Structure 1
Amino acid sequence: MVILVTGATGFLGGVTARTLLRAGHEVRGLGRDPARGAALARDGVTFVPADLRAANWKALLAGVDGVVHAAARSTLWGHAADFYADNVQPSAALARACAARGTRLVHVSTPSVYNATGLTCALPESTPVGPHFDSLYARSKFQAEQAVRAALPDATVLRPRGIYGVGDTSIVPRLTRALRARRLPRLTRTEVWTDLTHVQNVAHAAALALSRPAPGVFNLTDGQAVPLWATIDRLADALGVPRPGRFVPPRLLEGAATLLEFGARLHPARPEPALTASGVRLLTRPMTLDLTRARRLLGYVPVVTPGQGFGTVLEHLRAGPGAGRE
């Protein structure tokens, strides 16, 4: 198959493009970073520079059998207009173009859409979400899901929980900066069990969805919940810095984050605050997802366990900045 991967110069898109290439597909990778595009080309991926806000999908889909749409604005802070322009409009336009050509589409979304439900345990895809969301990011991703499914009911929508791995640009780097700066307090007196998803497991699920009819929404995780604060302690040990010790009530920190957000919104440039309320909630509220649908309809079995995945990440951190990437 000829597969187009959007966001191929990003973390998930790059891993997915290379995984599909190793599986024998011809892969075209869209992105905006020329240096990372050159690295993709060296590995055998055909790099196509493109800005998705102005993409000519008719031309980009010529000769393409399937698409993995991994590109997104994935931050907890920003302008609503930018989230809409980067996450909703390109997804809708791509889905319409795939529908017109009969091209299979795998759209990567997020279980952040569940965050405002107040539910935390074994959530199925049928969990009602909206109209309220805990971040502009979550709102835009759900709007994108709706637009994709309206234009192309046969599309596969993946909701991977907390993507991590060597090369991660979000979860581990943010925690690493906070730990090294010694500004991450202990926010709970009991453990928080949550699901995460190794990047290779997301790439594996995308490959499965390209290989068979798989319409609808699918939760994705590593299949085993992890103890969040014990994992943060292991991360601190690997970095050689103190573990979080001083306890701060999460409601106090969340309140402080809300005030910081309010001040940032009043600033003309709307700079990202050092702390966001949704970021605090990620560290204090458990969430696990039901994988029944992915196992039954995709044949999904995680290829990387949390023990393997975090073991590799911690080894990479111990090896220092010169270590190779997976």
Structure 2
Amino acid sequence: MRILVTGATGFLGGVTARELARRGHTVTGLGRDMGKGAALESDGVRFLRADLRNPADWLPALEDADAVLHAAARSTLWGRWDDFVADNIMVSREIARACAARGLRLVHISTPSVYNATGLSQDVPESAPIGPRFDSLYARSKFLAELEVTSAHPEATILRPRGIYGVGDTSIIPRLSRALRSGRLPRLVRGEVHTELTHVRNVAHAARLALEGSAPGIYNVTDGETVPIWATLDALADALGVARPKRYIPARLVENAARVLELAARLHPARPEPTLTASGVRLLTRPMTLDLTRVQARLGYAPVIHPHEGLAEVLRGVRP
């Protein structure tokens, strides 16, 4: 199969593009970073430099494709709404329209962050009512992107992987490592908080199943096992050689302080990312597990990496 992967110079896109190439597919990766593009080429992935906001950069590549994995996104808890609209909503809409017009299979990567403001936390199904409130601009933009994709391409597959991690992660582990190294991260809960994460290879596996099969609809994806957030933070602190968070400050107080920092950042002409965001605090203090019944039944998904393996691998790669 000839597969076009957007965001191929990113963490998830790069891992998945390489996995698809190893499986014998002809893969073309789109991205902006020429250095990472060269690395993709050396691993058997054809690379094209492209700005996804400019359809002229990527539309010709669809003529040589059977399917598209849209993994590119503005994935951050902070930013300008106009940028989220342009990169997450508008680009997704145009890619979905172009794929539908050409009869191409489309797998779109979304996020379970869309559930964060629903009040649900245990075995959340894909059918959970979402909106109109969201806990971040990112979550809102990704949900609106889903609506655009399903409207333009009803046969598309949408994956919602929770908390993507692994060796090479540029988001979760680096952010937590910076917070621990700063020595300013307090203990936000008295007990433990259990959540689910998804190893990047498990997301790549789910994406491959969707690309090789035919299963329209929305699917949750996780490692299928819960992870204790604060015990994991302690293990990360030990690997970094820094002190574990000890001083307890109620999460509600820290979240309120984060809102003040966010307001100050919004009023600043440069709108710099604050050192703390309310949605970031909630990720460390609120449990979340997802219902995997649909992805198991329709895609035949089962994790290829389990959390104890994946997190151990990540911690081994951490440098003090």
Q: Could you state the TM-score of these two structures normalised by the residue count of structure 1?
A: 0.97
5 Å matches for 1:1-326? 1-56=1-56, 57-318=58-319
C-alpha separation in 2, matches of 1:211 and 1:101: 18
Deviation at 1:42, TM superposition (A): 1.0
Q: Give the C-alpha shift of residue 183 in structure 1.
A: 1.3
Residue 288 of structure 2 aligns to a residue whose secondary structure is coil
Runs ≥4 residues deviating over 3 A: none
SS of corresponding position for 1:130: coil
d(CA) in 2 for partners of 1:308, 1:214: 29
**3-state SS of the aligned residue for 1:17?**
helix
Identity of aligned residues (%): 68
Whole-angstrom CA distance in 1 between matches of 2:315 and 2:83: 34
Structure 2 residue identity aligned to 1:105: L
- Structure 2 Cα separation of the partners of residues 299 and 165 of structure 1: 22
Letter in 2 for 1:53: R
Q: Distance in 2 between matches of 1:211 and 1:6?
A: 17
Q: Per-residue deviation at 1:58?
A: 3.2
Counterpart amino acid of 2:187? R
Deviation for aligned residue 1:130:
0.5
Question: C-alpha separation between the residues in 2 aligned to 1:60 and 1:132?
Answer: 37
Partners in 2 of 1:12 and 1:55 — Cα distance? 22
Secondary structure at 1:61 match in 2: helix
Q: Shift of residue 240 of structure 1?
A: 1.1
Q: Distance in 1 between matches of 2:22 and 2:184?
A: 41
Q: Which amino acid aligns with 1:97?
A: A
The alignment yields a C-alpha RMSD, in angstroms, of 0.8
Amino acid at match of 1:248: I
| Separation in structure 1 between the aligned mates of residue 123 and residue 267 of structure 2, nearest angstrom | 38
Deviation larger for 211-220 or 58-67: 58-67
SS in 2 for 1:62: helix
Q: Unaligned regions of 5+ residues in structure 2, if any?
A: none
Secondary structure at the counterpart of residue 28 of structure 1:
strand
Distance 1:317 1:298 in 2: 34
2: CA distance between counterparts of 1:26 and 1:124?
34
Looking at structure 2, the residues matched to 236 and 266 of structure 1 have their Cα atoms a distance apart, in angstroms, of 34
Spell out, residue by residue over 1:249-279, the C-alpha distance to the aligned partner (whole angstroms, 9 max, x if none).
0000000000001111111111111110000
Q: Alpha-carbon deviation of 1:55?
A: 2.2
2:75 is matched by which residue type in structure 1? S
TM, length-normalised to structure 2: 0.99
Distance, in Å, in 2 between the alignment partners of 1:62 and 1:248 is 56
Tell me the amino acid that sits aligned with residue 243 of structure 1: R
Q: What one-letter code is carried by the residue in structure 1 that aligns with 2:39?
A: A
State how far apart, in whole Å, the 2-side matches of 1:59 and 1:29 are.
13
Letter in 2 for 1:242: A
CA distance in 2, matches of 1:95, 1:60: 14
Structure 1, unpaired ranges of 5+: 321-326
